Every structure is written in C-alpha cells, then in structure tokens.
C-alpha cells in the first residue's frame, strides 16, 4: 500500500481525495488541513463546463445540481450595461455556488481521511520517502507529498518555489440575501474597476468588485462612491454595500508561472499556479489537476512516473489559462478614458456570443471508465 500525504483541504485537495478513491484505490492517503475545522467562509464561485462533468464523474452530480445555480450565460458589459460579449452556458454545466456550500459537497465522504488542525511545516526528501514535519512538531514518513495548500503554500516555499506577485488591483466580495433575480451572470467593465453580479440559489447574489489600487490598503472605502460609475445598471446593489456590510477584501496575487514542485513533492491548485480570477478558472485548474493526477497514479502505480507525466501534460494547458487570465485582467482594469473607449468599441464590434473552446476543454477525457 502506497502512502500519500495531501497538504490542504481546499477545492484541489478535496477533489484529489475523491479522485484517488475512484481512480487509484490502492493509494492510501491523508488530507491535512491547518484550520481547526472546515469554515463556512468565502463568497461565490463559478464552475465552468470543463470541470462540472469531472465532479459529476466522481459521484457529485446530484449534489451539484441541487446546490448550484445554473447560469444560461455569463456576459460582459460596459459600465452602462451594454453587452460586449456573452458566453452561453451548456445546460447544467455552468453553475454558481456559495463557496461554503461547494466545500461541503466536496468534504462529504472524506471524513476518514481528513485531519484538521494540522499543517505541514517543512519536508525532506530521501531516495524513496518524504519526511514531513508538522507545525505541531509531529513527524510523518510517506511515499509522496502533494501540496494543495494554496497561494501562500508552505510546501512550495520549502521547495524554493516562486513567490506570488501583485496583480495591481484589489477586490471586495459579498453575498447578498433577498437579491433581485438575474437571468445570468454579468461582469461590468469601467475605468480601472469592475463589478460582477452572479445569481445564486435561495434568492441570493454573489457580488464582486475590483479596483486599481496599491496592495494592503488599510482604508475602508465607501464602495457606492467608488463604483458609482455603474449606477443605473447595478440593480440597487451598491447602495446595500455600506461600511457595516460584511465584505471580504482580498488583494489579487498570482504566481508568475506554474511551479509543480520537485521529485516526490507535487504541487496542485493555487499552490502550483495561482492565477487571477478573470476567467473563473482558479478552482477549475485545481480540479483538473486533481483528477488527472489521480488517474495517472491509478494507471502507473509509480509516483515518480506519474508525477513526471502529470507535469508534462499540465504545463501547456495551465500556462495558457494563466496567461489569458492575466491579459484579460489587464484589459478589464484599463483606466484611461481613451483606452477604455477603444477597448469597449473593439469588444462591441466582435461577435456577441462565443464559446472559448480551448478554455472549456481540459485536454483529457471528461470521463474515464477504464480505472
């Protein structure tokens, strides 16, 4: 029995657990999470058609359809609400969730493998093992270590990996109760700022805002004033976001390039390739990582071979998505009035509806019934 330690019980780490149970049942695994318990935190998240079928194939289809809000489309508009681009969502495959509810779905069935309140402090590789030191001082010896511990990954840092870089813009996120119903998701582009509106189940709405600003700003902005450019098209949402409203403020960081770890230490998800959230593919890339890695482990039964194949197969795909997300963010955050007018004109003269086939194609079969 081979032993695998997964650091981090986020979306990528939990998906890997499910995928291992299906595709590599001979691998004994443990998922460590530094937090003392699974917290009902976060705001909204969208699962795109490249990953929804992957989770359905792992047995989560009914739960996803019950908790997710189907989005017939995801559209881009200017500050006045004029549609610039619209991506139609395939039936049942473009879904929006409250993040906490998605995490609950992913955690189901993994309790025997989950240990909370334990984080990986450091590790040392030998010829055939990885010796892991936990924050508590406890030692573990495993055959391989997977770092799924997010943007500020301790596992990546101990491998001497890349450090996150600031994107140039910050963000605020919230979930509103008793929100007006919307037919689909919308992102509005203004001058150095964006406003996103995503319907959720239960008459709720996920709202996110981005703003060109230096990192670690300590002031609490008056958001309705900062984003008043979108008045008339935000359905009165901004007026509800007072200073007393519970907002999640996050400076947007990313990794400059994918970093997959070394030897018997593999990185997946944000630990490997944290990207800006402009394509809604942060979670998607982590889910793709997890499923492919588990399939390769099931097929080859050898960590070194499976890890090598994984790195080779994921590099091009992830780099492409990472670069596209970075470029879209820069275009969306243009601030000078002249460049904003040119951007909106160019976007409005192109095809109004288009599906990025390369984006929604994970480059490996969505279902694999051979393992």
Token pair listed for 172: 């605020």
- Is residue 5 within 8 A of residue 130, CB to CB? The reply is yes
In this structure, are strands 27-33 and 2-7 parallel, antiparallel, or unpaired?
A: parallel
Distance CA 144, CA 242 (A): 48
Q: What local confidence, expressed as pLDDT, does residue 368 receive?
A: 59
Distance CA 321, CA 335 (A): 24
Q: What local confidence, expressed as pLDDT, does residue 348 receive?
A: 86
Token pair listed for 25: 């049942």
Q: What local confidence, expressed as pLDDT, does residue 109 receive?
A: 95
Domain boundaries of the chain, sorted by first residue = 2-69+99-165+255-349, 167-252
Q: What is the mean pLDDT of the chain?
A: 91
Q: What local confidence, expressed as pLDDT, does residue 360 receive?
A: 82
Which CATH code is given to the segment(s) 2-69+99-165+255-349? 3.50.50.60
Walk across the sheet containing 95-98 and list its strands.
44-47, 95-98, 69-70
CATH 3.30.9.30 fits 167-252, yes or no: yes
Q: What local confidence, expressed as pLDDT, does residue 217 receive?
A: 65
Please tell me if the domain spanning 2-69+99-165+255-349 has the same topology as the one spanning 167-252.
Answer: no
| pLDDT digits 0-9 by tens, 15-38 | 999 999 999 999 999 999 999 988
75 forms beta bridges with 86, 186
Distance CA 324, CA 122 (A): 33
Q: What parts of the chain have a pLDDT lower than 50?
A: 369-371
- Percentage of the chain beyond pLDDT 90 is 74
Q: What local confidence, expressed as pLDDT, does residue 371 receive?
A: 40
A 10 A CB-CB count for 196 gives 22
């Amino acid at each position: 029995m081979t032993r695998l330690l997964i650091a981090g019980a986020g979306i990528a780490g939990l998906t890997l657990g499910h995928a291992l149970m299906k595709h590599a049942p001979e691998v004994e695994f443990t998922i460590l999470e530094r937090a003392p318990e699974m917290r009902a935190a976060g705001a909204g998240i969208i699962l795109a058609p490249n990953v929804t079928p992957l989770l359905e194939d792992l047995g989560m289809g009914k739960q996803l359809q019950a908790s997710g809000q189907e989005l017939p489309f995801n559209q881009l508009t200017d500050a006045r609400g004029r549609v610039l681009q619209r991506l139609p969502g395939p039936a049942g495959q473009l879904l929006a969730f409250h993040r906490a509810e998605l995490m609950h779905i992913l955690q189901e069935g993994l309790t025997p493998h989950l240990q909370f309140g334990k984080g990986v402090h450091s590790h040392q590789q030998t010829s055939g093992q990885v010796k892991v030191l936990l924050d508590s001082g406890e030692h573990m010896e495993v055959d391989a270590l997977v770092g799924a511990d997010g943007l500020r990954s301790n596992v990546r840092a101990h491998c001497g990996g890349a450090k996150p870089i600031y994107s140039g813009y910050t963000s605020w996120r919230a979930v509103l109760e008793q929100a007006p119903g919307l037919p689909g998701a919308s992102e509005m582009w203004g001058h150095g700022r964006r406003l996103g509106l995503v319907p959720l189940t239960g008459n709720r709405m996920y709202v996110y805002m981005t703003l060109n600003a230096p990192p670690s700003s300590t002031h609490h902005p008056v958001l309705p004033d900062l984003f008043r450019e979108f008045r008339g098209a935000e359905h009165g949402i901004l007026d509800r976001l007072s200073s007393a409203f519970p907002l999640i403020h996050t400076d947007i960081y990313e990794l400059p390039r994918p970093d997959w770890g070394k030897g018997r230490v593999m990185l997946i998800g944000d630990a490997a390739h944290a990207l800006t959230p402009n394509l809604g593919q942060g979670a998607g890339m982590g889910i793709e990582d997890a499923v492919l890695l588990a399939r390769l482990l099931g097929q080859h039964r050898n960590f070194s071979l499976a890890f090598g194949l994984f790195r080779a197969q994921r590099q091009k795909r992830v780099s492409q998505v990472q670069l596209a997300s970075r470029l879209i963010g820069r275009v969306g955050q243009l601030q000078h009035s002249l460049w904003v007018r040119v951007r909106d004109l160019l976007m409005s003269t192109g095809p109004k509806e288009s599906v990025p086939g390369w984006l929604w194609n994970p480059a490996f079969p969505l279902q694999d019934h051979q393992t």
